Amino acid sequence: MDNKLLKINNGQKIKLADIPHFSFDEFYEEILSLALNDYYIVHYFAYEDKGKIRLVAVLRRKNWLFVGISDTPEKYPALTCKCTKFHMFEREIAEQFAIKPVGHPWLKSVRYHANYLGKEDIFGNDYSEDIPGRYEYYSVEGEEIHEVAVGPVHAGIIEPGHFRFNCAGEKVLHLEIQLGYQHRGIEKQILNANKKQLPVIIESIAGDTAVANSLCFSEAVEALANIQVGMEAKKIRGLALELERIANHIGDLGALSGDIAFLPPASYYGRIRGEFLNMLLAICGNRFGKGLIRPGGIRFSITDKQKEEFVNRIKKLKSEIVHIGDMLFNQAGVLGRFESTGIVGTEIAQQLGLVGPAARASGILYDARYDLPAGVYQEIPLKVVTEHTGDVMARALVRYNEALQSLDIVETLLTELENNNSYKHTEFELEPDNFVVTVHEGWRGELSHCIITDSKGDILRYKIKDPSFHNWMGLAIAMRNEDISDFPLCNKSFNLSYCGFDL
């Protein structure tokens, strides 16, 4: 079908003047038509430029990204009514810029804060009151219906979030998830920070995704500042991203085992997760990879002695991971709990625009490392791991097989690594009036950063999209008609980010 948006590459710098600027009606019809025809939304957000509010849409299809800009009315017919993929994006725009999507089926605040423009609040909230917590929740009526409220404070070390279940007996009819309890205003904070503070703020978006966020940020800055990065630095960046993926996938498999009281894999995988975090620690002094990636390259090299040690350690750990995996995925009790639990079918996953392991477990063939490769991934042959049952078992198997694939990638990169001391401290200046969007496959899925600069080269808008922004609704759908006792298992099989969402 015809596409009027501008086709761009991942990480490609574009002059704002070169991006098609539509009337709102034309923009509305264009992005709606594309979203209904196999295009997926990477970004849909607003920004202020010289007193005018504009909308930006970045869509993807196959190996390309597409971008367009529009002026903005104060209200418009909600796109969500015709295409569910816009659901959270429209709520976020309403919250940040007081632009009302009229008829939105569930228009409520996303993170609970006053809009950026000081306008009257669309949701009728009074932010001088000591909330958060006063929200309208979807309610099911009936004599046998009861509600179960969980959180935002949980009996563990997980982050804050509220889960409201409408149940008939033990059966969950509807789950509503309310986040925003740790909104930090990171996107606004970035606009007021000096350049040396930016990498530290970016690493603090979500501790378990520090490497992926640093990579998206650094590549965006490098594109706008015309900085070239050597292949050896790209290899270490990719290596760190895969270590982050392995540590989290293995940790999740252990946590899933713990949730069904199958403790041997929980213990083994818990210990093995630490081995990969310790490799990051050995490289850069931080178990989450903080301080490793900066615009211009990497700050720490890997010595020949470390390479040999890491390769030997990975070979040993791989055999342990496979051995424990055999134990986990062939145990009758595990199959009984994992199979046919928390199903999200392919059609629903497509309608919601799910990404990452949650999407691939539902049969969606998309991995940003393969479809929109950047950095070292342009050199790595990759097979996208998918399953088709959409249940807890499928999400566990995708994690398991991706972890094994990542082990091979890390071993290959270590073997090929040569002189890797390639970091140069770089004072960067960003090109004025430009736009860039970067996409990487974080361990939870498609992570994307977008930067728009003003006429002086300062950051006019910094937009971050965590994969959890797409996937929290997937968890809510997975719980429909499940026993409420299966919520921990379903929740863990998605393992979504609270702070990455709250921003």
What is the Cα–Cα distance from 31 to 493, expressed in whole angstroms? Answer: 32
Three-class SS state of 436: strand
For residues 95 and 231, membership in a common domain is answered with no
Measured torsion, CA atoms of residues 207, 212, 216, 219, in degrees rounded to the nearest 10 = 120
Q: Is residue 223 part of a domain?
A: yes
Q: Return the pLDDT at 80.
A: 97
Question: What secondary structure does DSSP assign to 256-313, as a single string?
Answer: HHHHTT-HHHHHHHHHHHHHHHHHHHHHHS-TT-TTSEETTEES----HHHHHHHHHH
Q: Kindly report the backbone phi and psi dihedral angles of residue 285, in degrees, each rounded to the nearest multiple of 5, phi listed first.
A: 90, 10
For residues 69 and 201, membership in a common domain is answered with no
Integer angstrom CA distances of residue 267 from 124, 460, 491: 48, 47, 20
Question: What secondary structure does DSSP assign to 116-127, as a single string?
Answer: TT-PPPTT---T
What is the Cα–Cα distance from 396 to 317, expressed in whole angstroms? Answer: 19
**Tokens 């059609």, located at residue:** 347
Please state whether beta strands 40-49 and 14-15 pair in parallel, antiparallel, or not at all (unpaired).
unpaired
Q: Return the pLDDT at 85.
A: 96
Question: Six-digit token pair at 301?
Answer: 């090299």
Q: Return the pLDDT at 406.
A: 98
Q: Is residue 494 part of a domain?
A: no
For residues 283 and 401, membership in a common domain is answered with yes
For residues 232 and 371, membership in a common domain is answered with yes
What is the Cα–Cα distance from 193 to 459, expressed in whole angstroms? Answer: 10
What is the Cα–Cα distance from 11 to 29, expressed in whole angstroms? Answer: 27
Could you tell me what percent of the chain has a pLDDT over 90? 87
Q: Return the pLDDT at 1.
A: 67
Instruction: Report the alpha-carbon angle 324-327-329, nearest 5.
Output: 105
Q: Return the pLDDT at 131.
A: 62
Q: Return the pLDDT at 134.
A: 64
Q: Is residue 184 part of a domain?
A: no
Q: Residue 412: which H helix or E strand, with range?
A: helix 392-416
| CATH number of residue 201's parent domain | 1.10.645.10
For residues 389 and 315, membership in a common domain is answered with yes
- Number of structural domains the chain divides into: 2
pTM of the model: 0.96
266-271 long-range Cβ contacts below 8 angstroms, 24+ apart? 268/320, 268/324, 269/321, 269/324
Q: Is residue 448 part of a domain?
A: yes
**Tokens 């809009």, located at residue:** 115
For residues 324 and 455, membership in a common domain is answered with yes
| Residues of the chain below pLDDT 70 | 1, 130-134, 419-425
Contact 86, 79 (CB under 8 A): yes
Q: Within 10 A of 198 (CB to CB), how many other CB atoms are there?
A: 20
What is the Cα–Cα distance from 151 to 153, expressed in whole angstroms? Answer: 4
For residues 228 and 332, membership in a common domain is answered with yes
For residues 118 and 215, membership in a common domain is answered with no
Q: Is residue 249 part of a domain?
A: yes
Q: Residue 382: which H helix or E strand, with range?
A: none
Write out the residue range of the structural domain in which residue 78 sits: 6-132
For residues 213 and 115, membership in a common domain is answered with no
| CATH number of residue 12's parent domain | 3.30.460
Question: What secondary structure does DSSP assign to 14-69, as a single string?
Answer: EEGGGS-EE-HHHHHHHHHHHHTTT-EEEEEEEEEETTEEEEEEEEEETTEEEEEE
Q: Return the pLDDT at 217.
A: 98
Beta bridge partners of 60: 40, 65
For residues 234 and 365, membership in a common domain is answered with yes
Contact 236, 258 (CB under 8 A): no
Q: Return the pLDDT at 425.
A: 63
Q: Return the pLDDT at 422.
A: 62
Q: How many helices (H) and strands (E) does the chain have?
A: 16, 16
Say how many CA atoms lie within 13 Å of 149 toward its Cβ: 10
